[in-house]
Amino acid sequence: MSGIVFFKTQSLDIIYHFYHFTLEMDIWLEQPNCYIFKKGNLLLGFIEAEEAETDGIITIFHQEKKVILNAYKKFSSLITQDLRVNEMFKIYHFFICDPEGRKIEFQTFLHPLPAYTTLEETLIKRRSIREFKDTQIEPDVLNRIFELCRYSPTSRNSQAYSYLVIHKKEDLQWLAETRGRAGDPILKAPMAVLVVSEHDKTTRMEQDADIAATYFMLSAHAHNVATCWITDMNKDTVKSYFKIPLKNYVSCAIATGYANEYKEVPFRREVNEFVKYDKF
């Protein structure tokens, strides 16, 4: 189910400029005397009317404290309530007002959250993280991540992939050392996941396991869990150590945990630079 929160406005042009250019919300849909804005999974509509509706609070939140701090600096001239920690709700927040007096809250939660991001946001913002907090991932969060992994596509629906979760420090140490410096993220994470496909269930072991690895990383990001994939793990030594049948395929090891760093989205090519039609 999806939804839109609507407000009546007396000044549609001013509201358009504020939410589109000042708050940098996308125009999701334009209709007669009406704009619907989009930010992440927030759909916010304004329709022209004789009286403006200004009750309630519009809350924009982000999982990274740094983003809220940047917003605080950017909107310093509009602030109506200063940046502070709210101990009751475990949030870090401040308030501004829009041109018609509606309260807008910017906040970050000071605790892990259930999944909330859209697929679009997940695809854009997932990064390889190499610095992790010591915090263990809660079993219910890990289970929700794997619930989405059940839908990873496989050849002939073989469902031949498996995930081996590694928690023990000595095992993480050994696994990291098999890749030298490239394995450092495993040393800094509270756990790692080996993605395996079974030779007796599929003739497309590599493809099935590689796609399953991608599903895991996207699902983890959607649940605010960070990952970093480490390749070159399809080795007999790795299989023997973890008692994986030698004929199976190990796609990668994925360092997994709560991020202790924030990474902006780097430069990306334009679509017309990498999409070809008919002939390469």
Q: Map out the domains of the chain as residue ranges.
A: 5-109, 119-257
CA dist 1 to 4, 41, 87, 91, Å? 11, 12, 32, 26
Q: What is the pTM of this model?
A: 0.84
- Contact between 214 and 228 under an 8 Å Cβ cutoff? The reply is no
| Residue whose pair of structure tokens reads 């269930």 in the numeric block | 201
Question: Rounded CA gap, 138 and 120, in Å?
Answer: 25
The pLDDT value given to residue 262: 85
Give the pair of three-digit tokens for residue 69: 């701090």
pLDDT of residue 1: 81
The backbone torsions φ and ψ at residue 192, rounded to the nearest 5 degrees and listed phi first, read: -140, 155
Residue 34's pLDDT is: 98
Q: What is the pLDDT along the chain (280 residues), one digit of tens a residue?
A: 889 999 999 999 999 999 999 999 999 999 999 999 999 899 999 999 999 999 999 999 998 899 999 999 999 999 999 999 999 999 999 999 999 999 999 999 998 788 888 899 899 999 999 999 999 999 999 999 999 999 999 999 999 999 999 999 999 999 999 999 999 999 999 999 999 999 999 999 999 999 999 999 999 999 999 999 999 999 999 999 999 999 999 999 999 999 998 888 899 999 999 999 999 9
Fold of domain 119-257: NADH Oxidase (3.40.109)
**Any idea what DSSP says for residue 181?**
G
One fold for 5-109 and 119-257 = no
Has domain 5-109 been given CATH number 3.80.10.10? no
Whole-number pLDDT of residue 111 = 85
Look at residue 63 in the predicted model and tell me its pLDDT. 82
- The pair phi, psi for residue 188, each rounded to 5°, is -95, -5
